[in-house]
Amino acid sequence: IIHVAVEQSYDDVVFSADLETGQSEVQEVRISCLYGHITGSFDLSLNGHMGKVIIYVNDSDEDFTAKLQSLPDVGRVNVQRTNLQNQCDIGWRVTFISNSGDVPMLKHSGISNLEGKDVSLDIFETRKGNVGPRSITVDNMQTGASYTARIRAENAEGTGPYTSHSQVLNTGENPILRK
């Protein structure tokens, strides 16, 4: 029940909780060869469709990031280059920042533009993304009692404002039943 022109009070808090945030998806792109060094390029797409970008083995982290972010549905990413063993092992760790949940795999369409002895290109998921919980259950609410809830979000950019009191919807009279 929303009482018009009545200021909501948050003095008697009966329940407070922080929901865990999800985890960002992390995928690795790794090029290896038998010996020597690797030159050339390869293309990447998200899940094998909707455009592709050309990545050169000597692209900077910033270039790789900008190219991936130009693909539809990729969102913001952080790319870190990792030289693994030697010039014949190159890797990039791609962290999906703005895409929550399990992100489709990056895909390549071949190694014909890469040069080196027995070159291979592998892409694998090192951490599956998840969105975290999207709801919370408040127990021991009394039927007929008025409750006011306010919610706010927090992320790497900071903390947002609380919801307004006009967004209060329920008094506990008709709780949601979970099956």
pLDDT tens for the chain, residues 1 to 179:
444 445 656 666 777 777 777 789 999 999 998 888 889 999 999 976 678 999 999 999 999 999 999 998 899 999 999 876 677 888 999 999 988 789 999 999 899 999 989 999 999 999 998 887 777 777 777 787 777 777 777 776 788 887 765 544 555 445 444 44
Tell me how far apart the terminal alpha carbons of the chain are, to the nearest angstrom: 26
Q: Are 41 and 121 in contact (CB under 8 A)?
A: no
User: Whole-model pTM above 0.85?
Assistant: no
